[in-house]
Amino acid sequence: MIDSQRFGLMIIGGRQYTADLKIIDGVVVPEWWRREGHSICVEDIADIAAAKPDILILGTGVYGLMKVPERFKRQLESLGIELLAEPTEKAVALYNQLHGERNVAAGFHLTC
């Protein structure tokens, strides 16, 4: 479960994170860097794809500025992974709601 989130900060299990991160099988993978910065491609989530979650929740930033290209969406669909991409605050709520009920992975952009 994610304790809280605000611009540039996420607290999970009492630990503070100040850079983008992923959560795979309940484990936080800190310091998530994407090849194209504010856009996402399948290579950026190779570890998530390998874990084969039912759902990938993407937090696209506080203002929703991280782009999720159509090609990325189609690639996830071909892998059988449902995508829920929302501004980070809403994505955190979705993660907390679905965590424990479904096999969920996540990637969160913590700033813009």
What is the reported pLDDT for 103? Answer: 97
Task: Give the CA angle between residues 20, 64, 41 to the nearest 5°.
Answer: 60
For residue 68, the domain's CATH number is 3.40.1230.10
Percent of the chain scoring above 90 in pLDDT: 96
Q: How many domains does the chain have?
A: 1
| Structure tokens belonging to residue 50 | 């390998």
Asked whether the whole model's pTM tops 0.85, one would answer yes
Indicate the SS3 state at residue 18. Answer: coil
Strands (E) located in 1-112: 2-6, 9-12, 15-17, 21-24, 27-29, 55-59, 82-86, 104-108
What is the reported pLDDT for 37? Answer: 85
Rounded Cα distance, 50 and 112, in Å: 28
Count CA within 13 A, CB hemisphere, residue 80: 6
Residue numbers of the domain that contains 74: 2-108
Percent of the chain scoring above 70 in pLDDT: 100
